[in-house]
Structures are given as structure tokens and as C-alpha cells.
Amino acid sequence: MGPDATIQAISLFVALVAAAGLIGLAVHRLAIPYSVALVVLGLVAGALLPITVEVPPELVLLVLLPGLVFEGALRIHATDFRRMFGGVALLAAPGVLVSAAVVGIVLSVATSLPLELGFVVGAMVAATDPVAVVSTFKQLGSPRRLATLIESESLFNDGTAIVVFLVAVQAALGEVTLDRAVVSIVVTVAVSTLIGLVVGLVASRLMTAVDDHLIALTLSVAVAYGTYLVADRLGHSGVIATVVAGLVIGDHVRRSGVSTATLDALDAVWEFAAFLMTALVFLLIGLAISFSNVVSVAPAIAWGIVAILVGRAIVVYLLLGGTSRIVVGRQLPAAWLHVLFWAGLRGAVAIAMALSLPASIPQRALLQEITFGIVLFTLLVQGSTIEWLIERLGAGRASLADEEPSAAVQPR
């Protein structure tokens, strides 16, 4: 990268950060979610800027995603996670496969897209992005177990969706068989979890042994990105490994009695980092999408939207709702299921996967535009109405006797 390109990249970064800050100030006066405003700004900027802003998928997958999933895992309440683990596992594993399959079948039947290519689109839009929803929960004081379920699902299904996506692309290119695909997915999830456990245990013990906030912060950054890179280099899921490491560290440092200074530093620094990275993600989503190109394939996108809603309904109401007494030990309130259904937003991971599609895959541009259109719908329509739905259903109040508000997810 030459000096001019470096200066241009730094200038763009500063402009994006400044725009995120100004939008943050503006939305306090407007009745729209912060994430929606950022996406709209990105769309407008992408249409009006005299230069084309290319968003490399590596920027999302290697720079922004590890930090975001680590921060999310770090602040999840371990007790609630253990209680909701069955539901999380159901949503993040079979839930991803069901969603991807429904999208693939609907697109294949309705648009004549080959089934294997429809499944590639399904894999790209299977992962949910709850950033806007969780921030709404914090404002409304919603049940923390519901917030834990939604956020934990996203943290883990990011990882499983990326694995399924890679297998789907290989299948579309004729490079993998069904039995090999199943073995690959199972091995990847198991090994990635093991990597995260080992790194998380070692790092958390080092943090508590020293109990210095600067060293703890330095180690946490190394874990967030180092775990991701190690797992990725070994051919496994960096997201799953990083999430597990974050969960282990978050639980251990809070139970081990480290100093308040260390806990406050971890909370404050990672909260700021996540806010900044989240803002950049939503702006980059807007910049990556060409609205005119999306409009040109509107019928296919409409079928894709129908498919993700049908798939989400099957996963939430049938898989989770029908088995919740078994997987989480109690029947989940209907209001929770409605929020889970409508909270299935898609975001940065779907965009990054679409941008990373190999040039050799058939109908690459069409697959990308369908994915972009689905992401736009979920962010602009579902993202802007989720607060209304939560208030309408009364899910902004703890609906189980032993619940605490979701703000308690973060023991600050």
C-alpha cells in the first residue's frame, strides 16, 4: 500500500468515525434506531460519493468481527447462559441449517435458481445480528435471559453459519460430498470449542494471577484476535473459538475476585471498542450495497425475504417453542417467541460472506444482490419496528418471576 492509499484509508476511517459520532448525537432527537440511521447514511454516501468505496470482506471478518463477538461473549451472564444453553444450541446449530435449507428451497422453486446456489444464499443469511435489538433491551430493561438467548444465539450462529457457508460454496463448486460436509461441520465446531476453552482458561488464569488492569486489557485483545487467527489458520471456526474464550474469561475474572479497577477497565474499554466497531459495521454495510443493483433483482429478493421469515418462524415457534420445556427447562412466554422471531436481523456477517464469494461461483452477482436486499429489509424494516413490538407485547418487562432486567447482563 503506497503513501497515498494509506492516507486515503486513514481519511476514510476518520470520516466514518466522525459520521458515527454525529449520527449518534442526531438519533437522540429522532425516533429511529442508531443502527438504521447508520445504514441509511452509508447508502446515501455510497450513492453520492464521487469515488467507489470498496469494502474488503477481510475488514469485517478479521478486524471487526473478532472484537465484536469477544466483547459480546465477555459480558454475557454465565449463569443465564448455562440455563439457556439448550435453546442457544438449538437456534445456533439446527436452526441455522433449517433457515439455510428453507431459503435454498424457496429460491430454487420460485426463481429457478439451482438448489445448491439457493443454499449458498441461505447460508449467508442464516446468521442473525442482534446489535440493534440488544441495545433496545438495555433501554427498556427487558428480561436478561431473553437478551442472553438472543445475543448468545447470534454469537454462536455467526460461527456455524460461516462453516455452513464454506461447505455450501464447496458443494456449489462440486468440491465436497454430503457425508464429508457433515463430518467437516461437526469436527470444526468441536475443535474450535476446544481451542477457545484452552486459550480462555490460560488467559483468565494469567489475568487473575497478575490482577493489573493494563495487562488484563492487553491479554484480552491478544485473546480476541489471537484465538480467531489460530482457529482460522488451522481451518476451523475463529468465531466459535473466540466466543468460547470470551465466555470463559468473562465468567472466570468475575468469580475470581479481581480488583474493581480490572473489571471496570475491561468493561469500559471493550464497551467503547464494540460501540465504535458496531458503528463502522453498519456504515460499511450501507457503503457496500448498491441500492440500484438491489432494486434490479427485487422479485428474487422478495422471495428471499419470504423464505427467511418462514424459516425463522419454523425455528422459533416449532423447534424452540415446541421443545422449550426440554431444552431450557420451562415453557418460554409467547411474547418472547414473537420477539425472537422478529429480532432475526441480518448484518455484517452476511455482507462479508457475500463479498467473499469466489469469482468462479456461478451467478455470483445475483447471489450477492439477493443477500444485500435481504439484509437491507431486516435492518430497515425489522430493525426500525422491534422497539415498538417489544413494548406492544410487554416484553420490555421481566415476564418470569425470577427474572432481572437485561441491564444486569453486564455486572458493571
Q: How far apart are CA 69 and CA 227, in angstroms?
A: 12
Whole-number Å distance between alpha carbons of 246 and 69: 8
| Distance separating alpha carbons of residues 384 and 34, to the nearest angstrom | 9
DSSP 274-304: HHHHHHHHHHHHHHH--HHHHHHTHHHHHHH
Sequence length of the chain is: 412
Q: In this predicted structure, what is the pLDDT of residue 131? A: 62
Can you tell me the mean pLDDT for 265-285?
A: 87
What pTM value is reported for the model?
0.86
Q: Is the pLDDT of residue 39 over 80?
A: yes
- 3-class SS of residue 143: strand
The Cα angle at residue 84 between residues 247 and 145, in degrees rounded to 5:
90
pLDDT band for position 1 (cuts 50, 70, 90): low
Residue 2 reports pLDDT greater than 70: no
Whether 102 contacts 309, CB under 8 Å: no
Residue-level pLDDT at 401? 43
> What pLDDT sits at residue 50?
64
The pLDDT value recorded for residue 396 is 56
The strand pairing partners of 143, in sequence order, are: 405
User: Which grid coordinates are listed for 3?
Assistant: 503513501
Question: What is the per-residue pLDDT for 386?
Answer: 82
Evaluate if residue 140 carries a pLDDT over 60: no
Q: What is the mean pLDDT of the chain?
A: 84
Which residues, in sequence order, are CB contacts of 190 under 8 Å at separation 6+?
A: none
**Looking at the predicted structure, is the pLDDT value of residue 27 above 60?**
yes
User: Would you place residue 245 in the very low, low, confident or very high pLDDT band (cuts 50, 70, 90)?
Assistant: very high
- Higher-confidence residue of 176 and 102: namely 102
d(CA 110, CA 105) in angstroms, rounded, equals 8
Instruction: Give the integer Cα–Cα distance in Å for 194 and 340.
Output: 29
pLDDT at 406 over 70: no
CB under 8 Å to 168, separation ≥6 — which residues? 100, 116, 119, 120, 122, 123
Q: How many CB atoms lie within 10 A of CB 6?
A: 10
Residue 246: the pLDDT is: 94
Which residues touch 10 (CB under 8 Å, ≥6 apart)?
none
Q: Can you say whether the dihedral through the CA atoms of 329, 334, 337, 339 is positive or negative?
A: negative
- Give the pLDDT of residue 139: 58
Burial 35-59 (b: 16+ CB within 10 A, else e): bbbbbbbbbebbeeeeeeeebebeb
Residue keyed to cell 435471559: 145
Q: Is residue 260 very low, low, confident or very high in pLDDT (cuts 50, 70, 90)?
A: confident
d(CA 127, CA 118): 15
Nine-digit cell at 49? 460519493
Predicted pLDDT at 275: 85
329-342 pLDDT, tens digit per residue, is 888 989 899 989 99
